[in-house]
Structure 1
Amino acid sequence: MLPIQQTIKNNDWLKTVINVVLFQLCWLACVVGGNQWALAALLLLVVIHASWIVGQDQLLSEVRLVLPLISLGILFDTILMQIEWLIFPHDSGVTIPFWLMALWLAFASTVRHSMSGILKKPWVAVLFGALGAPWSYYLGDQLGAVTVTTNALIAISLFWGLLLLAVCVQLQKTEAADGSF
C-alpha cells in the first residue's frame, strides 16, 4: 500500500473530504461535459472510492447499498424523462443519458461516507433531499444539460425526501445488525 493510501485509510476526516470533492468533480464533469466526460469521471471516482475510502471488509456491504440506490434513481429519472418532465437536449434514448446514470453512482458513493452525518437524523435527511436535490437538477437546467419542468421539480423533491428517509432507515437497520455506519 502506498503511503498516501495508508494516510487516507486511517483518517476519516480526509476520507470525507475526498468523498465530497470526488462527488462534486463528478457532478461538474457529468453535467458540463455530458457523456464525453462522464466515463472518465466515473472511473476516477470508482478507483479512488474503492481503493482509498471503502475498506476491503466493507466492499460487499457498500455494493449492496449502492446498487439499489442507482437502480431506483435511474428508474425514477427515466420515468420523468418518458413523461417529458425531464428533457435532455443532447440525448434521445429510451433511458436517461449515461452521464446522469454516472451521477447516481457518484451520489450513492457518498451515502456511507460524506453524507453519514446527515443520514443519522431522518428529519435532516428528508429536508436535505427535498430541498437539495431539486436545486441540483435546476442547476443542471441552467447549465443546459437538461430541461426540468416545474412538475419534475416537485416530483424530485418528494422522491428525494422519501429516498433519503428510506436510506436512513436502511442504514439504521444495518448499524443495528453489524455495527457499521
Structure 2
Amino acid sequence: MMKSLLNAANFQLLWFACILGGDNWAVAAIVLYLIVHHYFFVESVSEWWVILLFVVLGVFIDGALIFDGWLVMPPSIWTFPIPPPWLLGLWAGVGSLFFHCLSWGLTRPWLLSIGAAVFAPLSYFLGADLAEVSLGRSSIATWALMAFIWFWLMQVGVFTTRLTIRRNGRTHHV
C-alpha cells in the first residue's frame, strides 16, 4: 500500500515538474523520475516495455492532437515534429503507474477506464492552463475526445500489464 502511494506521489511530482518546468526542467525531472522509479519500484525489467509503449503512444496520440490543432503548444526550443520532452515524460510516468498505484485496475479495468475518462481530461485542462498550452477546440469537444482516448488507453495499459505479468509468471500485488 505504501509503495503504491509513493508511486502516485512520485508521479505527481513529475507532473508538476514537467508542467511548470517546461522544456528547461523536463529532461532532468524525467531522468530523475525514471532513476528513482527503477531503483525503488521496478520489480521486473519487463515493466520498462509498458513504459516504452506509453511513450510511443504519446508520440502518436499527442502528436496527432498537436498536428490537428487540438493542442496548441507555446513557442519552444523544441523543433522536432513530435511532442516536447515534458509531454512525453508525462506519458512515461503514466506507463510507470500500472504495476503499482494503478494495479488495483488490473482486476477492475472498466472502473479504471471510467476514472481515467473523468480525470485525465481534467489533467489536460489544468496542465494546459499552467503550461500555456492552448486548447484548439471547444472545452466540451476537447473533454469528450480526451475522455474517449483515456478510457481506451487504460484498457491498453491493463491489457499490456496483464500480458507482461502472465509472461513473467508472476501475480500482481493489489
Rate the CA distance shift 1:166–1:144 in 2: closer, same or farther, 3 A: closer
**SS of the residue aligned with 1:113?**
coil
Rate the CA distance shift 1:118–1:145 in 2: closer, same or farther, 3 A: farther
Shift of 1:172: 3.2
Shift of 1:82: 0.4
Decide which of 137, 140, 151 is 2:127's aligned counterpart: 140
Q: Which has the larger radius of gyration?
A: 1
- State the Cα deviation string for residues 32-87 of structure 1 (Å, max 9, x = none): 110111112112211111111113xx02x111221112101221000000011100
TM-score (norm. length: structure 2): 0.86
Could you tell me how far apart the structure 2 residues matched to 1:113 and 1:127 are?
A: 19
Comparing both structures, which one devotes a greater share of its residues to helix? 1
Count of equivalent residues? 166
Shift of 1:176: 4.1
Decide which of 151, 157, 160 is 2:150's aligned counterpart: 160
TM-score (norm. length: structure 1): 0.83
Match of 2:88 in 1: 101
1:180 matched to 2:134? The reply is: no
Match of 2:65 in 1: 80
Could you tell me how far apart the structure 2 residues matched to 1:176 and 1:114 are?
A: 19
* Aligned residues with identical type, % of pairs: 30
- Does the 8 A contact of 2:63 with 2:83 survive in 1? yes
Q: What letter matches 1:152 in structure 2?
A: T
Q: What letter matches 1:123 in structure 2?
A: W
Structure 1: unaligned runs, 5 residues or longer = 1-12
- Of 89-98 and 112-121, more deviation after overlay is shown by 89-98
Q: Residues 1-40 of structure 1: matches in 2 within 5 Å?
A: 13-40=1-28
- Does the 8 A contact of 1:134 with 1:153 survive in 2? yes
Shift of 1:141: 2.2
Could you tell me how far apart the structure 2 residues matched to 1:109 and 1:167 are?
A: 10
Q: What letter matches 1:19 in structure 2?
A: N
